[in-house]
A and B are shown apart, each in its own frame.
With several copies, the nearest count.
Chain A
Amino acid sequence: MSTADTDTMYQEIILDHYRYPHHKGLRDPYDVEVHHTNPTCGDEVTLRVQVLAGLVKDVSYDGQGCSISQASTSVMTDLLIGKPLAQALSTHEAFLALMQSRGTLEPDENVLEDGIAFAGVSKYPARVKCALLGWMAWKDATAQAVAQTKEAS
């Protein structure tokens, strides 16, 4: 299993995050909890966000799924926790753009850090949904959290 292809898809970074996920487990306190699934393969993630004073205070999650979905959620928490919301959203956009690029985008390591390992995955449309599962859940939860704050104020 050492062809060039496997190497693009399953970079060591991805395998590490898959085997030893960061920030995994559901934590309190949180503002919003969402549950997202990928119906085609059964991957699921339950994800909680806490947004405080314009900061991504915490992102915690639990789920099951393939290496790509689990590793990408783990990478995401590294990238987003503690960041200003605006910056987190633009990181989200950068990752989304990378995944939709079908292997044509050169990712920016300054922005995406370990996330650049997913550039190879973007060549496999069937796996792009896996890589985006956690990210879509975070976006959804964050939008709800922000809406709640607005209502409350």
Chain B
Amino acid sequence: MTAFDVEAVRKDFPVLSREVHGHPLVYLDSASSSQKPRQVLEAERIFVEEHYANVHRGVHTLSQEATDGYEAARSTVAAFLGARHEEIVFTKNATEAFNLVAYALGNPGSPVRLGPGDEIAVTEMEHHSNLVPWQMLAERTGATLRWLGLTDDGRLDLSDLDEVVNERTKLFAFTHVSNLLGTENPVDVLVARAKQVGALTFVDGVQSVPHQAVNVPSLGVDFFAFTGHKMLAPSGVGVLWGRDLNALPPFMGGGSMIEVVQMSGSTYAAAPERFEAGTPVISQAVGLAAACDYLTALGMDAIKDHETALTAQLLDGIRALDGVSVLGPDTTELRGSAVSFVVDGVHPHDVGQSLDDLGIAVRVGHHCAAPVCRRFGVPATARASSYLYNNAADIDALLEGIVKVQAFWGVR
């Protein structure tokens, strides 16, 4: 028996006692967004009801308490990543973090200058949020975007790594774990190559940080981003981590990110304030810290083990079915818990709708990673993604559900 008690965990999540279409909810869409435990909602509520004011703006008691709460949240998040307080910037989501760096690198004072002949490297498995900002940066500057392709089993094709990441590469952005395929990438190999050619590195940790212990500074990368809503925190908060944020010029201008403002020009505050223009995501940051505390108390390794068991159960179960195939690695090795699958003869949209009728929530579509679908020649997939609150019964329900879907659509 393991110390991780999933039934106790489930009790912390009010929504899990809900019914959908007369069935108990089976929530297998945490890679889109996770549910929130009482503890997180409660931490945010107490903060807002008792200690709320704007932050960094006053000497009165509430404003001091709010500032304390907000900055303590930053310290908690930093500790969760093994990082330092001033390396943490709160954004509204991970997408803002990618755009922050993409725009800052084009602003006066940028540590790199991008222009025609320069290259930005990504991979074919990126979420649109770690792809489109670089496409736009390339378009604005005349730089060229290049990418690593995928192997048939959903891994990065490293055979042309040295060509894609080369002396002209100024920045290499890639995901830690793919949201569509579940693939975990070899960060060390990719970073080693980037260092050889002097490229900055940016790792998308959106699908890793919620699910496994990540010591961010030890990855050796320059930037790292993730998002709160996929790790038990409220929507509306994300994080940019940077090794040396003070080397980066600002992105958005406004209140709080400044030092001296004159009509004729302004100077800017040091990081992290420099990158938090305007009133920040105050109570959301407090919620994110409570989420980190919740995850830490359970232990990230225990969570990872729990999810790996569920992923194995799901992969084994699908393998035993006829007419269903998985996109991406089909073992739990170097793999997250998101499992994309295709049911022969039934469009993913219909799979998702029919499963919903059984109370089972999976996501269908291109999962904001359209190039991966194109690479594997499917218009879309269904994706089941589990988290700490899912149990073996959820996976059983899904597997039985898939069989029922096949029957309903007459493909079995």
Contacts and interface: CB of A to CB of B under 8 A. Distances in A.
A38 to B, nearest CB: 9
B379 A42 contact: yes
B260 A130 contact: no
Nearest to A44: B379
A65 B259 contact: no
A110 interface: no
A9 interface: yes
A153 interface: no
A39 B364 contact: no
Interface stretch (B86-94, B104-112, B177-185, B343-351): B343-351
Nearest to A42: B379
Interface stretch (A120-128, A135-143, A144-152): A120-128
Contacts of B57: 40
A5 interface: yes
Most buried by A among B259, B347, B370, B408: B347
Chain A interface residue bracket vs B:
20 to 34
A125 B354 contact: no
B350 A124 contact: no
Contact of B260 (A39, A43, A126): A39
Contacts of B166: none
B67 A126 contact: yes
A1 B408 contact: yes
Interface string A1-30: 101011001100000000100000000000
B379 A64 contact: yes
A68 interface: yes
Interface stretch (B58-66, B330-338, B389-397): B58-66
A125 B63 CA distance: 10
28 contacts: A1-B405, A6-B354, A9-B353, A10-B408, A37-B260, A39-B258, A39-B269, A39-B366, A40-B56, A40-B366, A41-B364, A41-B365, A41-B379, A42-B366, A42-B370, A42-B373, A42-B378, A42-B380, A43-B347, A43-B379, A66-B349, A68-B350, A125-B64, A125-B67, A125-B71, A126-B67, A127-B353, A130-B349
